[in-house]
């Protein structure tokens, strides 16, 4: 589901295998949660990754960052909010917010992706895809006056 400000929501149930010895989600698994959110956002726009790949394109990660604000454990239900914040040339940037079922912010982050063709060479995002991404870009935050 994508809301009016451009954020798409995906719910994920934390599996036992997602946790570490302390019983909380292992920090690296949040990148997997980001991937799930991103894939579901693209699917909701009618452009799942399988369709891009069938057209000879891939969006490969060139940069990733995460900031950890809290944690959850096994069987917790988290909501991954994903938004497109930038699309230009051959790259697109996604932002993420992971929330606990109780409404606590757990992780924030982003990934930047390069568009590559079937020869694994960088290429411009096709105009139709770029227009779709721009149409669903998140609403910029309004600065207080």
Is 18 an active-site residue?
A: no
> pTM of the predicted model, to two decimals?
0.92
Give the per-residue pLDDT at 68. Answer: 98
Catalytic residue among 3, 5, 20, 75: 20
Find residue 64's DSSP bridge partners: 111
Mean pLDDT of 72-84: 98
Would you say residue 15 lies in a domain? yes
Residues in contact with 67: Cβ distance below 8 Å, sequence separation at least 6, in sequence order? 107, 108, 109
Mean pLDDT, the chain, whole residue set: 93
Residue 144, domain member (yes or no): no
- Contact indicator for 84, 133 with CB cutoff of 8 Å: yes
- Split at pLDDT 50, 70, 90, the class of 4 is low
Across the beta sheet with 58-68, what order do the strands follow?
8-13, 77-88, 91-99, 105-116, 58-68
Domain that holds residue 124: 8-135
Domain assignment present for 140: no
Please give the tally of structural domains in the chain.
1
**Res. 143 pLDDT band, cuts 50 70 90:** very low
CATH value at residue 57: 3.10.129.10
Specify if 88 maps to a domain: yes
């Amino acid at each position: 589901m994508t809301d009016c400000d451009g954020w798409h929501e995906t719910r994920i149930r934390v599996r036992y295998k997602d946790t570490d010895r302390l019983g909380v989600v292992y920090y690296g698994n949040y990148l997997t949660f980001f991937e799930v959110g991103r894939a579901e956002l693209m699917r909701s726009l009618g452009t799942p990754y399988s369709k891009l790949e069938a057209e000879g394109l891939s969006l490969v990660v060139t940069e990733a960052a995460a900031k950890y604000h809290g944690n959850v454990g096994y069987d917790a239900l988290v909501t991954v909010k994903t938004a497109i914040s930038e699309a230009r040339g051959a790259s697109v940037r996604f932002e993420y917010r992971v929330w606990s079922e109780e409404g606590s912010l757990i992780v924030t982050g982003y990934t930047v992706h390069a568009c590559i063709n079937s020869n694994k060479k960088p290429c411009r995002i096709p105009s139709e895809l770029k227009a779709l991404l721009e149409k669903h870009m998140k609403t910029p935050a309004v600065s207080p006056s």
